[in-house]
Structure 1
Amino acid sequence: MTFFTAWWRLTLGILIVAVTAHATVQDASDHSLRTTKSATTGSAWGPYRPNLYFGVRPQLPETLLFGLMWASGDSRDALRDTCEQDDGMQGYGWTSYDPRAGGSQTIHDAALRVDLKVDFYKSQDGLSWTARVTGTPRAGAPADLKTAVVFHAAMERAESPTSERSLRCVRHLRHRDDIRCMALLPELDPVGLYITRGTDNKVVEGPSVMSLNVTEDQIWQAKDHMVDLMDGHSSAAFSTRVDAVFPRAAPFEDQKYAGLTQSLLANLLGGMGYFHGDQLIDYSHAPEYEETDLGFWEKAADAMAHAPVTIKPNVSLLSFVPSRPFFPRGFLWDEGFHLLPVIEWDLTLAVEVLKSWLSLMDDDGWIAREQILGPEARSKVPIEFQTQYPHHANPPTLLMLVSVIISKLAHATPYNGDSSDSITSAEKGQALVKEIFPLLSRHHDWFRRTQAGNFTAYPRPSGANAEGYRWRGRNPGHCLGSGLDDYPRAEPPHPGELHVDALAWVGASAKALQQAAEYIGEDSSICKEQLQAVRQNLDTLHWDPATETYCDATIGHDGKYKHVCHTGYVSLMPLLLGHLDESHPHLPAVLDTLSNPAKLWSPHGLRSLSAQDDNYGKDEDYWRGAVWMNINVLAVLGLRNLGNSTAAGARAQSLAAHLRKRLVDTVYDSWDQTGFAWEQYSDTTGKGQRSRAFTGWTAAVLLLMGLEDAAVTFPDPLEGSTTHSSGWTAPTIGFVGLLVLLVLLRHRIMGLCSRVAIVWRQSRSHRYHQGDEGRALNEAIDLDDLYESDSNTADT
């Protein structure tokens, strides 16, 4: 294949690169790249290489690849190409981006003392595009600062310059600062690439053109090869549309929150990539992978070390990515959260991405939880994690989207996004659900089959049915399949254990499929029966009366069934995934756990693990206390849907309002200080942690800013007493009676009584979080209702 670079050294100015098959009008003051082709919309161009600061390709395999690099004009050190965690950026990302129109990206390179702006615009049909790169020295930069700007293009599977798949680049005969390339490939019309410079540029050295042939597995390594060799109108329209689709309500009307909303959305959308390549899969189905023996993880690890690895033929995926510098690939359970805001913005695009994921499903219903396609993707993944296993699962968040999509198709909730035929046409909406329903059902059945718990070899509580699950791939200290990696589980792992979150996810999937079946007129009875069995077993198998918490279960040394309780996100899953109703006897205790500052309630959101747990903040400290926005968003939406027609409902509304404000402010403050959204946030300081530029599921926070809060009648648990009982407990009555008796007997000790009353109020506030028997029951979350309109919620 052919690899091509063109580079300039500039003190400042504009670079525009254009690819076109037809004549285009270009501003002589710009450097521009424009592409035109005659092909299907599915092959439209875009910045579908999110692991690069700016990389463009069409949605086609084995095709043209474009990218931008830059470096100091005096040195080839610190050449920028791929997004990296330690590049010394003060911030970068899309300030506006719509996959259908394009947008603008700013890059603040503090280390090289230059700010770059990349304007990327697409034609209405998505088949033509123009990119403009503008460079500005940062404050304090020397007057003679030089920046080398490099544009690179590559043709996969290129042959000779005269073949039907080729790339050839030359300088213009008369205008030596202009570059022209011609590309041929069967899937596109002949493509012309033009690079020109603006008249206002201060050029230290004119363009150079280099090309070389590299092997197929090196074509993506533009930076390495280079080292070896040496608008405004669209932004305004984007802002207006963001305000229309994601309006902000109190207390977030301030314009500063508009910047956060646009940044989260633009960088989520700008993180969409088109990936194509082979995949490493272990299809050995070794008997050790059944994990039926004690010490199963050791036997499974040995089998994995000796199993043959299959290189699965090339597949393609259109997906959003969690983080461009650190996780520039598709993740199964992340994608469900990614698509929640995208559904509101562009339902057609969200469905296209959903279908792309479902197309990767094998005949059994398995989808690899990480899509590591090709050598470029594998370069970011440690070798021990590159192979995927068909018995390893992930939370089935794609099914979580079904109820949201159906609510839009049925006009049950508002939709202000890009026009969609599936919404305007009831027939097309039905056809859409009928198309995806069999695939989602197959995925659900695969999960139930491969993650099923053992109900024959180990004791289970009386009254339990056969619905129980455990994540495969467990080892001491980790349960990667659950998505909660180092969240504490039973130690050591046991083949008889059961996981409450796995069961809750199965129930949520069954509920989604039931709703889909009813929408298209199919039989929903099996899904309904599964859902009922799941909800029964959540209480029978996983409720621990001693701690008043939903817990995992294992088999003890005495061979008996026992609970393993680590209060945190796992404990909340029955609530978050819609399995508790308003009359459920365990709901008050679950709400107490959620709102207890000594456990999960922090100044910056719900902790992933209780601060009282012995594992809090220990070892890797990944899911052991930090605040994760995906779970917190579900919590806010769920609490809001508990209604406000009862005292318990009013309490839930208050918790939702307080939590909503804390989450948005936490994300905003860190974004304002660093220029990035983050993977997780400290529960003590609120500062962003781990991977930066994490506008994957963290972007789901933008769904919260437009929510109207109901009347807040209960204070924040961190700011005052959280009493909510409709009656007094016996200890309370007894203590009040004692106070009255003391007053009657000894007026002179009233001062002492006052001090005792203060202590009583403080201790009662603590006991409230441990469990108060006299409180009213709250209503429960139903996943189907997460996206009810504000008016419906207010009327509940």
Structure 2
Amino acid sequence: MRLVALASLLLAVAVSALGNSQQGFNSELSFDEYTEQSLLWAPYRPNCYFGIRPRNVDQSPFMLGIMWFDNSDASGLSRIRHFVEQGDKLQKYGWEVYDPRVGGREVIIDEANNLNLTIYFTKSHNGENWAVRVHGEPLDPERGSAASVVVYFNQNGQDGQSRLKKIVGDDSGKMLFHGVSKELGEYQLTVRDNFGSYYSDPGLPTMEIVPGCDSSKTAHLSMTVPDENVWMARDVFLSILSDSVKQIVEEKGAEAVNPSLFPSTFTIRNLYDFPAGNFHYLQKSFDNSSPEGFEFDIIYNALDTKERITSIGDVANLISGTINHVETKFAELFALEPKGEQYHSFALETLSNLLGGIGYFHGTQLVDRVTIFDDEQFEEVKLQHATEEGPLSLFTSVPSRAFFPRGFYWDEGFHLLQIMEYDFDLAFVICSSWFDLIEADSGWIAREVILGDEARSKVPEEFRVQNPNIANPPTLLLAFSEMLDRAIKNQESSALEFPGPVDDEITAQKQTSQLENNPDLLLKYAERIYPKLLKHYNWFKTSQKGLIEEYEEILEDEGILEKVHQEEAYTWRGRTINHCLPSGMDDYPRPQPPDVAELNVDALAWVGIMTRSMRRIAHVLSLKDDEAEYQKIENNIIENLDLLHWSEEHRCYCDITIDSLGDGRAFVCHEGYISLLPFALKLVPLDSPKLKHILSLMSDPEGIFSEYGLLSLSRRDEYFGTAENYWRGPVWLNINYLCLDALTYYFPAVVSGAAEGLSPEESQAKQLFVSLKESLVNNVFKNWEERGYCYESYDQYTGKGKGIEHFTGWTALVVNIMGNK
């Protein structure tokens, strides 16, 4: 069920929160109406450096993308930019200021193409219309390059009603298009130059090397591209252009290699006399020797709207308002430590790039429902019986636009913990989109949601197929229960009343936290989704259930069989000898060799937090019997963590298996994140004597404490830094964030100013909290300052960012760590 389907449920509780007068949304809009208007348009194609599509428009969406290259160089085509690729080795790319509800500013520094590109996206006050401003400047005006920017757009829809045609075009670069979408209605698209000179050589009588190839003019090609292939715009462009260049060389000979005519040679034309269609290329080749650069606007106006964007001034004013809105709102919501302009820029840019990774995906997914895992086979997981299912839709943020531009189940919960601090309602909309994917019969959600060919094109083939037996840590319920907690606290405080007309920014915050401040809306959704969540909960427990019966004689010999809750023991299905991808911590050391009797402490802990989340949901829905049942299960899990997985010898939580002789329980202890997870998820009782051992584990400079954050694996472990070294030492922000949060839960004094009168454990916890927070912030900031990006993880020896760069998924939690009000 899409969020829009909630309208009938929520009519009676339409919110009277004031609208954001700066952005112009109607102050009387209900939650659904405001959501649909403010989140309809955005750059929802995060795999592209810049790509637009509408949200919740699936049959006839308008699609747009931007590409660029230097066409003054014969090798320029090898440097064409379209999809975000680490191999492009750009000096910088990403959003400096961004909010999907209003827009922002993206900056791209491309040294190989000698281009400093700034792309602005902004919307009309009602959210129906939008504008893109493309501003480019040469990095070095003396290089004599050309900046060839290619804009492509398509009106999808094979219904016979959807169309997009050029109606006006002139030599000034202005073009006007008329479009019709079955879902969006009629609209007008205007592309207009603001300033800049097209590439030409004054020493030549003409730049037109053959008809249609003239770099001194905007080139336009209209054709038909099947909807499912629009994402291949770069490949289609290169194919047509390569054929054109080949023909020019054959026809013109030496003249074709005149460097002054290269930009014309590398200009697209209608080589094959394609009839006009709904797909359009516009290619603008600017002379990149002027320090002032160039600029042009792309403006979309729905024809039935009252508020149109018509002039250069309109676009400029909207951009100014957009940037001011985001910067002011951010400053109001986050009280950053340390302070300073650079830290502020770092935090705002990091959050903006998390928000800039939000995408809307629609299409089929590949599912293998045939393969059943052999509990005796751990060599390799092969999913060879894939079928296409769907189509489905998903509104989600992504871990990294360059490498992971798709939905990841366990990442998304961490993303939402950050997003809800800036825009509570946006986090809810994303969370509900994920819950819509819960299968009605089985309760399954795929661990990676890869919808359609565009998304699949960025995924190695071996990871494209999903299987209903493979799970991932259920962080989405962690985030959703946090949302409910916050909303209910507001309700119980009885202190919330909407004021009269006040400051624009306070108003803006109310408009994006309607659910937090009006729990009735959130509770109605929770009531509607509860049956699905229950199925999901039961699917998780059933699919990952461990074989505790293998331990019956052993536990009886140990005298604890009667104490152990045999129904609460879990293992990760789908692990192999070297990897446990379902756990999220792929290469973290596990029992060797794998065995059918293996029980994983983190699997049990995640079921514990899932149960706690379900208990909280049942509580707010007044489902007393369900709440009591969840409380019982939660208590049993907490007891089992100690009974089954706590090793007195190692003084930490461990996986277990049956020893090689088959007559005893073997603790497989690898001090690190797995050992900490029961603490990080707040499943250790507040009065537990084990807390002091966990504190010691986290504080040990010879173990997992480092000047860069908590290491994923202890330095003393035999696997530390070995093989792939993915989760075997490097610092990861998501688990560090959970540990910091848990420290404030178990030891509230860590965030108080008092330093006297603390117990030894409180003093140790306070020292750990302060030093850990400082280490994490300083190191992530240092990498950003020196290299321009956040990273997937950070090296255990040097603190240098490693893995995927521009990883502003859960690494963006550093902004929460720096402080929110």
TM over 0.5: yes
Q: Distance in 2 between matches of 1:191 and 1:437?
A: 40
From 677, 689, 704, the equivalent of 1:585 is 689
The alignment's TM-score, normalised by the length of structure 2, stands at 0.77
Deviation at 1:684, TM superposition (A): 1.7
Please state if 1:187 is matched with 2:188. no
Given the alignment, which residue of 36, 49, 53 partners 1:53? Answer: 49
In the alignment, the residues of structure 1 paired with residue 630 and residue 136 of structure 2 have an alpha-carbon distance, to the nearest angstrom, of: 57
Residue 453 (structure 2) pairs with residue 405 (structure 1): no
Deviations 1:235-294 (A, max 9, x none): 233222111111113xx112211011101111011100000111100112x4x42x43x3
TM superposition shift of 1:391: 0.5
Instruction: Please name the residue that 1:270 is paired with.
Output: 356
Aligned with residue 169 of structure 1, among 147, 160, 166? 166
Call closer, same or farther: CA 1:40–1:256 in 2, change over 3 Å. closer
- Partner SS for 1:498: coil
Query: Shift in Å at residue 418 of structure 1?
Result: 4.7
Matched, 1:474 2:575: yes
AA paired with 2:334?
F
Comparing 458-467 with 519-528, greater Cα deviation is found at 458-467
Q: Which residue is equivalent to 2:82? A: 81
Alpha carbons 2:697, 2:703 under 8 Å: kept: yes
Does 636-645 or 332-341 show the bigger shift?
A: 636-645
Task: Describe the shift of the 1:610–1:132 C-alpha distance in structure 2 as closer, same or farther (beyond 3 A).
Answer: same
- In structure 2, relative to structure 1, the CA distance for the partners of 1:264 and 1:436 (3 Å cut) is farther
After superposition, the Cα gap between the structure-2 partners of 1:38 and 1:229, relative to the gap in structure 1 and judged at 3 Å, is farther
CA contact (8 A) 2:157 2:181 kept: no
Matched, 1:383 2:469: no
* Contact 2:431–2:480 under 8 Å retained in 1: no
Shift of 1:301: 4.2
State the match for 1:281 in structure 2. Answer: 367
1:93 paired to 2:94: yes
Alignment of 1:392-431 (within 5 A): 392-411=470-489, 417-419=509-511, 420-431=513-524
- Going from structure 1 to structure 2, the CA distance change for 1:421 and 1:180 (only over 3 Å counts) comes to same
What does 1:6-405 correspond to in 2, within 5 Å?
41=37, 44-59=40-55, 60-62=57-59, 63-74=61-72, 75-138=76-139, 140-142=140-142, 144-158=144-158, 163-169=160-166, 171-172=168-169, 174-175=170-171, 177-201=173-197, 204=200, 205-230=216-241, 231-249=319-337, 252-284=338-370, 286=371, 288-289=372-373, 291-292=374-375, 294=376, 296-298=377-379, 301=381, 304-305=383-384, 308-362=385-439, 363-405=441-483
Alignment of 1:648-687 (within 5 A): 648-687=761-800
Code of the aligned partner of 1:521: S
SS at match of 2:417: helix
Shift of 1:158: 4.0
Equivalent residue for 1:509?
610
Q: Would you say the 8 A contact 1:98–1:266 is kept in 2?
A: yes
How far, CA to CA, are the matches of 1:398 and 1:446 in structure 2? 15
The answer as to whether partners of 2:38 and 2:126 remain within 8 angstroms in 1 is no
Return the TM-score normalized by structure 1: 0.79
- Partner SS for 1:579: coil
2:543 is aligned to 450
Shift of 1:136: 0.9
User: Matched residue of 1:327: which SS?
Assistant: coil
8 Å CA contact 2:364, 2:388 repeated in 1: yes
In structure 2, what is the Cα distance between the partners aligned to 1:39 and 1:550?
Answer: 44
1:503-554, Cα deviation, whole Å (9 max, x unpaired): 0111111112212211221120111011100011101110111111110011
SS of corresponding position for 2:588: coil
- Report how far residue 41 of structure 1 moved: 3.2
Q: Deviations over 1:172-226 (max 9, x none)?
A: 2x55522222222211111221111014545542100012323444220111111
Cα offsets for 1:456-497 (capped at 9, x unmatched): 244453231121100000110100000000111011211110
Tell me the amino acid that sits aligned with residue 89 of structure 1: L
For 2:86 and 2:92, how far apart are their aligned partners in 1?
A: 11
Aligned equivalent of 1:723? none
- Identity rate, percent: 36
- Counterpart of 2:130, as a letter, is W
| Structure 1 unaligned residues grouped into runs of 5+ | 1-36, 708-788, 790-796
Q: Distance in 1 between matches of 2:94 and 2:418?
A: 18
Counterpart position of 2:807: 694
Q: Secondary structure at the match of 2:697?
A: helix
Aligned counterparts of 2:699 and 2:36: Cα–Cα separation in 1: 52
Task: Give ranges in structure 2 of 5+ residues lacking alignment.
Answer: 1-32, 201-215, 242-318, 497-505, 750-757
CA contact (8 A) 2:398 2:408 kept: yes
- Partner amino acid, structure 2, of 1:565: C
Letter in 1 for 2:402: P
Quote the RMSD (CA, aligned, Å): 2.2
Partner-residue secondary structure (3-state), 2:548: coil
Which residue in the other structure is 1:733 paired with? none
Moved more, 446-455 or 640-649: 640-649
1:425 CA displacement: 2.7
Deviation at 1:84, TM superposition (A): 0.2
Q: Using the TM superposition, give the Cα deviation of residue 350 of structure 1 relative to its aligned residue in structure 2, in angstroms.
A: 0.8
The AA in structure 2 aligned to 1:246 is F
SS at match of 2:351: helix
Question: Partner letter of residue 357 of structure 2?
Answer: G
Distance in structure 2 (CA, Å) of the matches to 1:185 and 1:385? 35
Distance in 1 of aligned mates of 2:609 and 2:576: 26
2:721–2:728: 8 Å Cα contact kept in structure 1? yes
Name the residue aligned to 1:465. Answer: 565
